[in-house]
Chain A
Amino acid sequence: MMNRRSKRTQEEILYDILLTILNRSGRIKQTQLMTKANLSYKLMKNYLEDLVKKDYVDFIKKNDRKYLIITDKGRDFLDNLIKVKTFKETMGLD
């Protein structure tokens, strides 16, 4: 998880959302995501809309419950985000 002392950037929030889903075996409920990724409902909704539009996450229904899943495209995007984050740390840019 990113450092919470300062306000998170858009990139950091995306990273937190995708990594949280991935760490819950690629499937999570929205309420759990809010808690784990430390997001308000409004903020989470905004980000999820964008992520669904870009095909990084998707909704599935199982036993009458709505879950969020990370897509293959989302996994690739997360891989790239991790590389960029490490790259910035490596070059002293963070």
Chain B
Amino acid sequence: MAIPTLIISPPWFRGFDCVFEYFGVLVFLLIALFAYKATKMTNDQKTKWLFVSFLLIAASYFIKAFRNINLYFPFERQLLIGSLEVKYTSLAIINLVPIIDFTSRVLFLLGLVGVYFLITQSEEKKHMALMVYFITIVTYVSSIVPYVFHLTSAILLAEISYFYLKKTERKRLNQKLVLTAFLSLMMSQMLFLTFHPGLYVSAGILELFGFVLLLFSYVLVHFSVRELKIKKEK
């Protein structure tokens, strides 16, 4: 079986990367849920699209982690259907890897494009359909030339970071954290595209760092109430 070509992670790191990715799922879901709550409260279209974008990214990480876990820790189960005994192995997922990878990558890139449109406040939303088409093409090409996906992600994250930096002139602590998170995620994508086992570990750690920073900035939002009231009272 061609498992080694599907797995870049060194043996000792297998499983850790899945935990990191599941942590990322939690962070993106948490932020998406808050964006949903904000949308319900204010009927704001921007928070609505942030909810959708972050949900897509969370789904992408979830699918990726699920794929890796099944490949890293294969198991076999026997099912008894009537008098028929069916053996099921988690390695059967190998046949689905191209579809799983395609889905996970499309979701990730769509999520990033959503964030890009939000941060640049682009009025060109009418081009969204065209973007979806290009993302599908890029993802298809990346199934033949895998680094294309990581390169596209890195470019999108670099653009997001650049426009975010330009936009947030006041640069409060939570804005600095989000900016560093985007930059960490961008760097991790650049390391992923080398497909080198050693650099894969560094990329995983950088990605985790990005998730932690995003979580931290989210937590700080909840302290903003006290901070703002105190400032007003002075």
Contact = CB atoms under 8 A, between A and B. Distances in A.
Contacts of A32: none
B225 A79 contact: yes
Contact of A82 (B35, B46, B174, B228): B228
B174 A90 contact: yes
A31 interface: no
Interface string A50-94: 000000000000000000000000000001111111111111110
Contacts of B220: 90
A82 B47 contact: no
What range describes how many residues of B lie at the interface?
20 to 34
Q: Is the interface of B mostly helix, strand, loop or mixed?
A: helix
Interface in B193-229: 217-218, 220-222, 224-225, 228-229
Contacts, number: 67
Interface in B77-99: none
A32 B95 CA distance: 70
Contact of A23 (B46, B167, B232): B232
Interface residues of A, number: 20
B68 interface: no
A90 B214 CA distance: 10
Contacts of A92: 118-119, 163-164, 167-168, 175, 178
B177 to A, nearest CB: 8
B38 interface: yes
Contact of B178 (A81, A84, A91): A91
A-B pairs, 8 with minimum CB distance: A86-B224, A84-B38, A93-B46, A90-B174, A11-B42, A92-B119, A79-B225, A82-B225
26 contacts: A11-B42, A19-B232, A22-B229, A23-B232, A79-B225, A82-B224, A82-B228, A82-B229, A84-B38, A84-B41, A85-B224, A86-B224, A87-B34, A87-B35, A87-B38, A89-B168, A90-B172, A90-B174, A90-B175, A90-B178, A90-B218, A90-B221, A91-B31, A91-B50, A92-B168, A93-B50
